[in-house]
Structure 1
Amino acid sequence: MTTAPREDVPTRKSDAAYETLKGLVLNGRIRPGRHLVLYDLAEHLKIGETPLRDAMLRLATEGLLARDNSSGFSTKEFRVDEQRQILELCDLMLTHAVLNAGDRVSGQLLTDLAELENAPAATIEEAAQLAGRIRDMYLEIARAAGNDVLRDQCRVMVDRSHMVRMLDLQIGESGRHTIDDLREFGVAMAAREVEQAVASVKAILGRRIDRLPLLVKEANFLASDASFP
């Protein structure tokens, strides 16, 4: 008796390729403006070309890759105007999420906020890890708001601002202020003080917008020195 092939295998491979490539893009491991050669990238990552192309299409849809005129893909340079628009959208979405999350935010999230370590991070690796934790917290808030569209769009915007958030946590005093505001946010959410929670989110994003020229310059500089072949 012949067993029929599992239909979900291609999807699992595409999802794995997506997560791998997204991680490289988010953390600046591939130079901005670099054309991605499908065959070379597949060989290096040991991923099939079909799932890798699916991953590229998905990342292009989310704005993390650019489509070339040749129907290929390339990484995007960071731009101040684009990042400002992304952060302004994050402000709107996260404010809406906080106002509608009510008491559905998990107790574990509030515990994680209280236990955040002081910033700025000592290394870029620590900053990347901390930025990832904050990303997960933002998405948990969006999930708690009970709106799937909001959650999905929030994920896209938070991912597209990952590099800027990561550097913000590492450079200067802003990282320390961000952690302080996140702790205050956790306390406010636990006490159901929604206005204070919203004020904390706005303070974080407002400072980041003010620092965008520096952060974008550093993001392009860091990524331009990427070691990915």
Structure 2
Amino acid sequence: MLSTGLPQGAVPRLERPGPLRDRVYEALLELITTRALQPGQHLVESELANHLGVSRQPVREALQRLNTEGWVDLRPAQGAFVHEPTDEEADQLLTVRALLEAEAARLAAAHSDEDGIDALERIVHLGLAAVDDDDVAAAVALNARFHAMVMELAGNAVLAELAAQVDRRVRWYYTPVARQRGRQSWIEHEELVTAILNRDEQEATRLMREHTEHTRRSYQARPR
């Protein structure tokens, strides 16, 4: 067990071909957003490099980039630590997310087709199965897929680009409350699919707004 807290084998070693610096960045960011690396956790360059099968240089560069983007805090004479988001940071981001997602739901109700509805229903089916299996990682990933599909069905490229900028942070905040939200979250997804299927733009907007608000409140009320 590494002192960084990563279980052995949690992340496959990176293959050498390709932009290694960017791939190390992506690997570390995925570990942070899925909370394999916990907020406040000390990040030791040498151990991360060994775990990923790379030298320390691309790890150092990735940590600097993550620091610039607010995922990692570089503390003088102490090293790198996973950023601990404040409640205000989370609240602001989840509020913005609610605005984007509500508009996406409205547009999806206006523009979705049969294939899009089928795709949403398949994701809901898989999400409910993940909840039944108590597979939090799968539930979080499927939740992200569901919201990404709604955004895709909205058909607005600018809206999708803005949503993509907050997607990973939404996953970061959603992970610790995914079990708490559980089946209820997927019931809300089912209701939203029905509204989209019925092309009820007003109802789809209302349901998505309430759905994202439930997640925001769950995050605020999470155990500390």
For Structure 1 versus Structure 2, the TM-score category normalised by the shorter chain is 0.7 to 0.9
Give the superposed CA RMSD: 3.0
- 1:60-116 deviation per Cα after TM superposition (whole angstroms, max 9, x unaligned): 454333344579642111432211111101101112222334424724432224423
Task: Give unpaired runs (5+ residues) of structure 1.
Answer: 1-8, 218-229
One-letter amino acid matched to 1:103: H
Q: Structure 1 47/179 Cα, relative in aligned 2: closer, same or farther at 3 Å?
A: same
Aligned partner (choices 106, 120, 127) of residue 110 of structure 1: 120
- Contact kept, 8 Å, 1:122 with 1:170, in 2: the verdict is no
Task: Give unpaired runs (5+ residues) of structure 2.
Answer: 1-16
The 10-residue stretch of structure 1 (70-79 or 91-100) with the greater mean CA deviation from structure 2 = 70-79
Distance 1:119 1:39 in 2: 35
- Contact kept, 8 Å, 2:43 with 2:82, in 1: the verdict is yes
- Alpha-carbon distance, 1:137 to partner: 1.9
DSSP-derived class of the 2:35 partner? coil
- Alpha-carbon distance, 1:139 to partner: 2.0
Identity of aligned residues (%): 22
Match of 2:12 in 1: none
Match of 1:94 in 2: 101
Is structure 2 residue 204 aligned with structure 1 residue 165?
no
Is structure 2 residue 109 aligned with structure 1 residue 134?
no
- Alpha-carbon distance, 1:196 to partner: 1.6
Q: Structure 1 72/193 Cα, relative in aligned 2: closer, same or farther at 3 Å?
A: farther
Q: Structure 1 54/121 Cα, relative in aligned 2: closer, same or farther at 3 Å?
A: farther
DSSP-derived class of the 2:221 partner? helix
- Alpha-carbon distance, 1:187 to partner: 1.5
- Contact kept, 8 Å, 1:97 with 1:141, in 2: the verdict is yes
DSSP-derived class of the 1:66 partner? strand
One-letter amino acid matched to 1:77: E
DSSP-derived class of the 1:74 partner? strand
- Contact kept, 8 Å, 1:65 with 1:74, in 2: the verdict is yes
Distance 2:191 2:42 in 1: 43
TM-score normalised over the length of structure 2: 0.74
- 1:3-50 deviation per Cα after TM superposition (whole angstroms, max 9, x unaligned): xxxxxx543x34432332122112222232234333331122213444
Aligned partner (choices 87, 97, 118) of residue 80 of structure 1: 87
Q: Structure 1 179/20 Cα, relative in aligned 2: closer, same or farther at 3 Å?
A: same
Q: Structure 1 122/114 Cα, relative in aligned 2: closer, same or farther at 3 Å?
A: closer
The 10-residue stretch of structure 1 (65-74 or 203-212) with the greater mean CA deviation from structure 2 = 65-74
Distance 2:32 2:72 in 1: 8
- Alpha-carbon distance, 1:117 to partner: 0.9
Higher relative contact order (CA 8 A, sep 6+): 1
The 10-residue stretch of structure 1 (100-109 or 192-201) with the greater mean CA deviation from structure 2 = 100-109
Distance 2:174 2:140 in 1: 6
Q: How many residues align?
A: 205
Distance 2:178 2:78 in 1: 36
- Contact kept, 8 Å, 1:118 with 1:179, in 2: the verdict is no
TM-score normalised over the length of structure 1: 0.73
Aligned partner (choices 187, 191, 216) of residue 209 of structure 1: 216
